Structure 1
Amino acid sequence: MKKRITYNFSLLVLMLTVIFACQEEDQTFGEIVEPSNLVVTATIVGQDASNPNGDGSGLVHFNATADNALSYKYNFGTSQLNAPSGSTSFTFSDLGVNTYTVAVVAYGTAGVSTTSTIEVEVLATYSPPADLLDALVGDGSKTWRIKSEKNGHFGLGPVGGTVAAEWYGAAPGEKSATGMYDDRFIFNEDGTFTHIVNSTNDDPATDTSGTIFGRDPLVNELGPHSETPNGADIENYPYQDYSETWVITAPGGVETINISNLGFIGYYTGGNHRYEIFARDIPNELTIRTTDGNSEFDWWFIITSEEEGASNELQTIYNTLAWSDEFDVDGAPNSANWTYDLGTGDNGWGNNELQTYTNSSENVIVEGGNLKITAKAENGSYTSTRIKSQNLFQFTYGRVEVRAKLPVAQGTWPAIWMLGSNFETVGWPNSGEIDIMEQTGQDKNTTLGTLHYPGMSGGNANGGSTTVPTSTSEFHNYTVEWTPDVIKIAVDNEVFHTVINSDALPFNDNFFFILNVAMGGSLGGDVDPAFTEDSMEIDYIRLYQ
């Protein structure tokens, strides 16, 4: 099947008319030189002697060069892409082998241009799975938005990185004044993509006006504007509702949303307008990424089809109890499950902590069905306990649930966490660390969930937080769901932090448990001068696999 594309030169004629009409105003453009020797090449991904039309992904890399050219534009029929450098990629999605004629325009000074075409014969075999189409489209009324209430809902990282928002992730609500959060995105069943730029102004009648958020100067591709950049951002750029087309492809096996022309999601970054689906394990939620037009960053977004305030309930795949400690026998912790770290921070835990860890019943005891770890002030110093399952119980993957009540005193730093069993040989953070629950000494209404690993450790760790106002007065369930694909941290079954797992991360081998209450230090901060003692109580710790 032959698919021809014709480029419309009316814009060029209009531009030249304006140029000559303005000569009386003595405007100078310098020497106007039409680009020449325009050469366009195409590389079909997976093409070889056995696969002359490619590997079935439909992905083709294009490169254009011309003398005296300042920029380039590709016309693929249903989609047009600006390519300042002359290089771009496009995924053809019509099933089977099809021949496409692609028009390429090279622009010179004052808008003069030269056009050339190239034909490519491409095989596309990918058909998106029904569950993904259903997730995007639903019953036809599903509307998506940036999940502004979630940590890391918008961010950036290195091109090709595997950690969501590795270099920067926006805090909940951080970009509320930019024009992004009121946008809505609809993937219609007929293949059209609708972007509503202000979802709050359509009552009682439709108002297509609004504002969007974009990267300077890439957002200039949408047209001229008068907004002053805020750093490298253009905030509240006036724009109108619009429609484009969308299609799902899977180049290299990665499910990807392709939006035609200048359509985009969340924050305008230029580029190829392809959004790789990095995670879709949480119902009604997608983690997506795209590379900007400068090939400078990967931009990450978390989008959801639930209205703000909707539940983010943990959906577990582990339901068989594999190990537990119910703390139902009074006395010292069960020696078959727990051993101790003893001494001061000089022994290896550091962080400027003030306590000395002991195995004294004054600091740790099981009574009344609970484990109690108590930090005490003693003669100007502090004692506490840190118990661990190292060399007694360790595991890979599962759902860990710990029911606990936390200390209230300023300066206490309680933690429920896991450490890679190989840390003594590979060191930290190479071993990996999963903090199921930490709480600072100064904010007892907030719970932290954090992962430490190479490149993301210490104060630069990959973490999230959630509000738990009754953490010191009531028991709550602190949970991690750890799979080969994803690590989710939750409180009372509500997920508040998600990290995509991969072979590149140290979360695919045995870990062991640690329970402790530290005093002061990097998260404990200043201790209340009137502090005498306070405890973390744990009802049970359970592992499901």
Structure 2
Amino acid sequence: MTKKMKNFKYILGLMIILGSFLQSCQDDDHDFGEVVAPSNLSLEATIVNADADNPYGDGSGQVQFMASADNAINYKFAFGDNTSTNVSNGNVMHSFTSTGVNEYIVTVIATGTGGTSSSMTTSVTVFSEFDDPETKSLLTGDDSKTWYVAAALPSHLALGPIDVKTSDWYNAAPFEKKDECIYDDSMTFSLDENGNILYELDNNGATFFNTNSLNAAGGTNGTGDQCFDYDTSGVKNVSLSAAPTIYPEDETTGTQMMISDGGFLSYYLGTSTYEILEITEDYMQVRTQSGGNAAEAWYLKLTTDPEGGAGGGNNSAEGKELETEFENLVWEEEFDGNALDADSWNIETGNGDNGWGNNEKQYYTADNAVVSDGSLKINAIAESTNGFDYSSARITTMDKQEFKYGRVEVRAKLPGAAGTWPAIWMLGSNFAEVNWPASGEIDIMEHVGNDLGHVLGTLHMPGNSGGDGISKGTEVENVDSEFHTYTLEWTADHILFAVDDIVFHEYKNSADTPFNQPFFLILNVAMGGNLGGDIDPNFSEDTMEVDYVKVYQ
């Protein structure tokens, strides 16, 4: 992944002129009866790391504001630089980013019940210089770029301690929020004629609110995350600045963005400031302080892929010829003998639990896997076998040939009869310990005769089991009469599915998935079941013929 370089030139002086022309304005709406505005409003501003030798701070441009008032339930800060934020506890850190010496009028508005408010204003004079052209370019594409919630990725929405990048508190599974409004959002960053960053959120009129921010939408805090009609129209300004130093340098870009006028990234948390932990051409992870709680943070992953990371984004490999990263052949099976190599293959028999968990109609036997004439034939046959109407075969390399990352190629000709369900797939080697779907599943190829020629590549993991797998298909001509090469290209960063070296599905892998351990191979032909569907009543026999299996690393 691209690691962002930046040019920090910290020449920053802050002179805080607290000749606070304290204005206490009280806006009582007497239509609601007598109400009491927040009183005894105070505001303190502290330059970060200021000392005798550095009276204007450490050069980061950061100022800690602390406001308090009796009877206040919310504080809105308007920083005078086209940015603002709302916090419930009155404490906020802000970075001033305009280069040179600039004076800003900073206003805090304390709001009480009934909408009454009191305000205080102070002037802040700041000299700062900050430059991060690479993040700016990656964010906007040097003109305009649209981002989406990375719904297909694990932990695309997460809550955890503010000082760890990977949390075990809460991590959203891929597409966990599919019934909410968050995945419909698009976030566009662009540049104006002066090179300033602009931002616009299109959420189709509905915003997904955190349970602690529902008051802002007219709801009641603490009643659970909800979608509300909420107007996000209008272009906001975005400024970049140095982020507070919490993570090691290699775990953050060190840059944060601030969105003006209460702007936010899709999920409403009552904040407009986001630290950019990682950013590439098509992927970004940010974090933001959780509801004013300095000890915890929300983490959000974004992608340029409208499918939320299930596709490849702006730089997608989909539809292109596979450019492999792996050339070293580490294992191959040519099926040259007259029997399966027992050092590499296991034969599984039976019907599993409830048809292998899929209501499959076949009984697997050792006799239905035949090696002859340089290929493996897995034969599905209509015959009475151990109480079932169909026989077939399923073979695996579990505990014998297991692989972590690489290119897996299988050249095969598929059965085409209605009701057949051939598959070339993989399970995590820890399957026996953690079971499915915690082990992860990679379906290199699945096909059903009831949808002849439509080949699927699918991933399963916790939150994406059964019909909720992360899946994409492609059309393959003569799938049952000619051999085709089905390929998996698998790294720590991405997983590609290809047919005849043309990529049709790309997934962005990450450390949060189960796809970062050794996996073993499975070849089988099922009959009927949840995906296979209705079986042709005239079915007699059909075959998946496998020419070879090769693994490169």
Scaled by the length of structure 1, the TM-score of the pair is 0.69
The answer for the alignment partner of 1:541 in structure 2 is: 549
Within 5 Å, which residues of 2 pair with 1:120-519? 130=134, 132-138=135-141, 140-141=142-143, 143-146=144-147, 152=152, 157-160=157-160, 166=174, 168=176, 170=178, 180=185, 184-186=188-190, 192-195=196-199, 213-215=206-208, 232-234=227-229, 237=231, 239-247=233-241, 249=243, 252=247, 253-255=251-253, 258-262=257-261, 264=263, 267=266, 269-274=268-273, 284-288=281-285, 300-303=301-304, 312-313=316-317, 318-325=325-332, 327=334, 329=336, 331-346=338-353, 349-360=356-367, 362-365=368-371, 367=373, 370-379=375-384, 381-439=389-447, 443=451, 445=454, 447-452=456-461, 455-456=462-463, 458-459=465-466, 463-468=470-475, 470=477, 472-473=479-480, 477-484=485-492, 486-492=493-499, 493-494=502-503, 496-502=505-511, 505-519=513-527
Q: Distance in 1 between matches of 2:450 and 2:291?
A: 42
> Which residue of structure 2 aligns with residue 206 of structure 1?
none
Mapped contact 2:276–2:285 kept (Cα < 8 A): yes
Rounded to whole Å, the distance in 2 between the matches of 1:411 and 1:8 is 79
Amino acid at match of 2:379: T
Rounded to whole Å, the distance in 1 between the matches of 2:290 and 2:458 is 34
Correspondence for 1:530 among 538, 546, 550? 538
Asked whether the equivalents of residues 396 and 511 of structure 1 are also in contact (C-alpha less than 8 Å), the reply is yes
Q: CA deviation at 1:243?
A: 3.7
Q: Does 1:82 align with 2:94?
A: no
The amino acid of 2:111's aligned partner reads Y
Q: What residue ranges of structure 1 are gaps of 5+ in the alignment?
A: 21-25, 199-209, 224-229
Contact 2:283/2:304, CA 8 A, preserved across alignment: yes
Structure 1's 37 and 311: CA in aligned 2 closer, same or farther, altered over 3 A?
closer
State the aligned residue count: 498
Q: Deviations over 1:442-473 (max 9, x none)?
A: 55535141132xx4363386523234364845
Equivalent pair of 1:157/1:166 in contact (CA under 8 Å): no
Q: Determine the structure 1 residue equivalent to 2:14.
A: 2
Partner of 2:5 in structure 1?
Answer: none
How far is the alpha carbon of 1:103 from its aligned partner? Answer: 5.4
SS in 2 for 1:159: strand
Structure 2 CA distance for partners of 1:528 and 1:300, relative to 1, 3 Å: farther
Contact 1:164 1:500 in 2 (8 A): no
For residues 336-379 of structure 1, what are the alpha-carbon distances to aligned partners after superposition, in whole Å with 9 as ceiling and x for unaligned? 4323222331599444332222232x444354x65432322213
CA contact (8 A) 1:262 1:270 kept: no
Match of 1:115 among 106, 117, 120: 120
Residues 220-253 of structure 1: CA distance to partner in whole angstroms, max 9, x if unpaired? 9799xxxxxx961437x47234443345758523
Rounded Cα–Cα distance in structure 1 between residues aligned with 2:196 and 2:393: 60
Q: Report what 2:31 is aligned to.
A: 27
Cross-structure match for 1:202: none
User: What secondary structure, in the 3-state scheme, does the structure 2 residue paired with 1:530 have?
Assistant: coil
SS in 2 for 1:345: coil
Give distance in 2, aligned partners of 1:447 and 1:7.
68
Which amino acid in 2 is paired with 1:313? Answer: A
Match for 2:38: what amino acid? E
Q: For residues 73-107 of structure 1, what are the alpha-carbon distances to aligned partners after superposition, in whole Å with 9 as ceiling and x for unaligned?
A: 12444321112454555566799xx9999754322
Identify if the C-alpha distance between structure 1 residues 86 and 430 changes in structure 2 by more than 3 Å, giving closer, same or farther: same
Give how far 1:258 is off: 1.2
Rounded to whole Å, the distance in 2 between the matches of 1:90 and 1:111 is 25
**What CA distance in whole angstroms lies between the structure 1 residues aligned with 2:23 and 2:474?**
55
CA distance in 2, matches of 1:439, 1:248: 51
Alignment CA distance shift 1:507-1:7 (3 Å): farther
Counterpart of 1:105?
Answer: 109
- Find the aligned partners of 1:278 and 1:2 in 2 and give their Cα distance: 27
Q: Which moved more, 1:508-517 or 1:307-316?
A: 307-316
SS at match of 2:271: coil
Change (3 A) 1:340 1:363: closer
TM-score for the superposition, normalised by structure 2:
0.69
Match of 2:221 in 1: none
Shift in Å at residue 33 of structure 1? 2.3
Deviation at 1:275, TM superposition (A): 5.0
Please tell me whether the aligned partners of residues 418 and 512 of structure 1 are also in contact (alpha carbons under 8 angstroms). Answer: yes
Is residue 450–residue 461 contact of structure 1 (8 Å, CA) maintained in 2? no
1:313 CA drift (Å): 0.7
Deviations 1:273-327 (A, max 9, x none): 345667756xx42244566976997554322599999772178673222324363
Report the aligned-residue RMSD. 5.4
Quick check: 2:17–2:124 contact (8 Å CA) kept in 1?
no
Q: 1:39 to 1:129 in 2, by over 3 A?
A: closer
Q: Match of 2:7?
A: none
Secondary structure (helix, strand or coil) at the match of 2:36 reads coil
Hey, what's the Cα distance between the residues in 2 that align with 1:85 and 1:192? Answer: 31
Distance 1:55 1:357 in 2: 70
Q: Secondary structure at the match of 2:403?
A: coil
Alpha-carbon shift at residue 72 of structure 1 (Å): 0.5
Offset, 1:387: 1.6
Q: Distance in 2 between matches of 1:405 and 1:52?
A: 75
State the distance in 2 between where 1:137 and 1:277 align: 14
Instruction: Find the residue that maps to 1:523 and give its secondary structure.
Output: helix
What's the secondary structure of 1:195's corresponding residue? strand
Are 2:445 and 2:455, in contact at CA under 8 Å, matched by a contact in 1? no
Question: Secondary structure of the equivalent of 2:268?
Answer: coil
Asked if residue 68 in structure 1 is aligned to residue 71 in structure 2, the reply is yes
How far the C-alpha of 1:501 sits from its partner, in A, is: 2.7
The separation in 1 between residues aligned to 2:485 and 2:62, in whole angstroms, is 46
| Letter aligned with residue 374 of structure 1 | N
Change (3 A) 1:512 1:177: closer
Q: Which amino acid aligns with 1:468?
A: E
How much identity, in percent, do the aligned residues show?
32
- Structure 1 residue 428 displacement after superposition: 4.2
Secondary structure in structure 2 of the residue aligned to 1:529 = coil
Q: Distance in 2 between matches of 1:56 and 1:522?
A: 62
